[in-house]
Amino acid sequence: MNVVHTINDLKAQLAAFRSSGCSIGLVPTMGALHAGHASLVRRSLMENDVTAVSIFVNPTQFNDKNDLAKYPRTLESDCQLLSTVADEVAATKGCESNIVVFAPSVDEIYPEPDTRQFSYPPTDTVMEGGFRPGHFNGVCQIVSKLFSYAEPTRAYFGEKDYQQIAVIRRMVDDLKLNLQLCPCPIVREADGLALSSRNTLLTPDERQTAVGISQTLFKSVEYAKSHSLAETKQWVVDTINAIEGLEVQYYEIVDGLSLQSLTDWTDADNIVGCITVFCGHLPVRLIDNIRYK
Ligand code: AMP
């Protein structure tokens, strides 16, 4: 496994593979890696000859400077986890796993401010887009840069950030990028809580409380079978808000592609509920989602 810190080194490493016809997988991350990230890396290693994993806490997607400051940064243990995943996959495939870790500085990525504006409404204006102005513009800035450095055959993103995939799908279409977007299912703790780097900021008590989010979403699938969409939405919000230490910021039940809010279960074939909840004393902002159809 090679760790590089500059764009030139990343390009040089990948060029060597590309010139011999190898496929390239890209897994963009902000580090503090856990089993959710590992699932993306594992899949990329299985499906490609070489995998580039970027580890970069991208400042332009944080609209809250405090959130940026407290975001965990753990490069050494991240590399250990990646090396373990690489060994596991190598044993399964019976050949070497090639990983290039790209861990650049902020100056390397943004030697000058990125003034590009991306706009893909409604995917980037609803939900997270409304509550975190500029967030998806920052996501598009960094992801488009990573795409141009790595020129991946396939790029892997987790459905935990459901809206992010919808926005990036629009960007890939818009820029006519020649790559395959690969959404990967949410990895959860045994009790159901979606794995997140932010979970490490919860106290043990808050961690117990946080499970109420996924438990409520799971139960809502059953509830939805005998209730209207509006009733289900209200039930999820009320049930989570009744748990001490949790406060729903929004819950929207949307069309899974356009992310447009729905009013009836029959309005779309692909229906997803997306939630953001504040948890605990900091508080920590947790997101999750559930598929109804
Ligand atoms: P992040 O480091 O939070 O920016 O996440 C990097 C990638 O890992 C994104 O595509 C996330 O959606 C994905 N990811 C994060 N947590 C999970 C999870 N629990 N299950 C699946 N993918 C995840």
pLDDT digits (tens, 9 = 90+) for 216-251: 999 999 999 999 999 999 999 999 999 999 999 999
Question: How far is it, in rounded angstroms, from Cα 280 to Cα 284?
Answer: 6
Which pLDDT score is estimated for 249?
A: 98
Q: What is the pLDDT of residue 146?
A: 98
Ligand 1 pocket test target in 160, 164, 211, 288 with most atoms within 8 Å of CB: 160
Best of 26, 27, 29, 284 to mutate for ligand 1, by most ligand atoms within 8 A of CB? Answer: 29
User: How many beta carbons lie within 10 A of that of residue 6, not counting itself?
Assistant: 12
What is the C-alpha to C-alpha distance for residues 251 and 223, in angstroms, rounded to an integer?
16
H/E stretch holding 161: none
Neighbours of 64 (CB within 10 A): 11
Given CA atoms 109, 160, 270, 135 in this order, what sign does their dihedral have? negative
Average pLDDT, stretch 277-290?
Answer: 96
pLDDT in tens, 172-221: 999 999 999 999 999 999 999 999 989 989 999 999 999 999 999 999 99
In angstroms, what is the span from residue 231 Cα to ligand 1's centroid? 30
* Cα 19 to averaged position of ligand 1 atoms, centre (Å): 30
**Residue 26: CB within 6 Å of ligand 1?**
no
Task: Report the pLDDT value the prediction gives residue 70, as an integer from 0 to 100.
Answer: 85
Band of residue 28 on the pLDDT scale cut at 50, 70, 90:
very high
Quote the crossing angle between the two packed helices 35-47 and 75-93, to the nearest 10°: 40
> Cα(144) to centroid of ligand 1, in Å?
17
The per-residue pLDDT for 102 is: 98
Pocket lining: 168 vs ligand 1, CB cutoff 6 Å = no
For ligand 1, atom 19, the nearest C-alpha belongs to 195
Find the 16 Cα to ligand 1 centroid distance in Å: 28
> Is there a catalytic annotation at residue 37?
yes
Tens digit of each residue's pLDDT (9 = 90 or more) over 106-148: 999 999 999 999 999 999 999 999 999 999 999 999 999 999 9
| Residue 67: predicted pLDDT | 87
Mean pLDDT of the chain: 97
184 C-beta closer than 6 A to ligand 1:
yes
Burial string for 218-239 (b: 16+ CB within 10 Å, else e) reads eebeeebeeeebeebbebbbeb
Nearest 5°: the CA angle 60, 61, 67 is: 105
DSSP sequence for 232-290? HHHHHHHHHHTSTTEEEEEEEEEETTT--B-SSGGG-SSEEEEEEEEETTTTEEEEEEE
Average pLDDT (99-106) is 98
Residue 288 is predicted with a pLDDT of 98
Catalytic residue among 5, 37, 227, 281: 37
Q: What is the DSSP letter of 57?
A: -
Residue 186's pLDDT is 98
Give pTM, 2 decimals: 0.97
What single-letter amino acid sits at 56?
F
In the chain, the N- to C-terminal Cα span, in Å, equals: 40
Q: In the chain, where does DSSP find H-type helix?
A: 7-19, 35-47, 65-70, 75-93, 106-109, 128-131, 135-150, 162-174, 204-224, 229-241
Instruction: Write out the two tokens for 98.
Output: 């090639």
Percentage above 90 pLDDT, the chain: 95
Average pLDDT, integer, range 95-105? 96
Query: Among residues 235, 213, 179, 224, which one has the least CA distance to residue 285?
Result: 213
φ and ψ at residue 26, rounded to 5 degrees: -125, 130
pLDDT at 32 > cutoff 90:
yes
Q: Domains of the chain (ranges plus CATH)? A: 2-184 (3.40.50.620), 197-286 (3.30.1300.10)
Mutate which of 33, 39, 40, 187 for ligand 1 pocket (most atoms within 8 A of beta carbon): 40
Look up tokens 């809206």; give the residue.
163
So what's the pLDDT on residue 174?
Answer: 98
Residue 195 CA: nearest ligand 1 atom is 19
Express each pLDDT in 43-58 by its tens digit: 999 999 999 999 999 9
CA of 227 to the centre of ligand 1 (A): 32
User: Is the CA virtual torsion 253, 41, 138, 182 positive or negative?
Assistant: negative
**Which residues lie across from 286 on neighbouring strands?**
277
